[in-house]
Amino acid sequence: MTFMHECGHVFGGFLCGAKLTEVELAPWRLPYSMHSPDPYPLVTLWAGPLVGVAVPVALAALIASRWAWLIADFCLVANGSYLALAWLSGDRFLDTQRLLDAGAHPALILAFCVLTIVPGYVGFRSDCIFYLTPFSKTRNAD
Taking residues 105-128, report their average pLDDT. 98
**Residue 69 CA neighbour count, 13 Å, CB half:** 17
Cα 137 to Cα 70, 133, 140, 142, distances in angstroms: 21, 12, 8, 13
Report the pLDDT value the prediction gives residue 81, as an integer from 0 to 100.
Answer: 98
Averaged pLDDT of the chain: 94
> Residue 122 and residue 130: Cα distance in Å, rounded?
12
Taking residues 22-51, report their average pLDDT. 94
Tens digit of pLDDT for each residue in 18-28? 999 999 998 88
Q: Which amino acid is at 106?
A: P
Closest by CA to 93, choosing from 101, 105, 84, is: 101
Long-range CB contacts (within 8 A, 24+) of 110-117: 112/49, 112/80, 112/83, 113/80, 113/81, 113/83, 113/84, 113/87, 114/80, 115/80, 116/49, 116/53, 116/76, 116/77, 116/79, 116/80, 117/76, 117/77, 117/80, 117/81, 117/84
pLDDT of 142 above 90: no
**Where do the domains of the chain lie?**
2-132
The distance in angstroms from the start CA to the end CA of the chain is: 22
Tens digit of pLDDT for each residue in 90-102? 999 999 999 999 9
- State pTM to two decimals: 0.90
Tens digit of pLDDT for each residue in 71-88? 999 999 999 999 999 999
The pair phi, psi for residue 33, each rounded to 5°, is: -145, 145
Report the pLDDT value the prediction gives residue 120, as an integer from 0 to 100.
Answer: 98
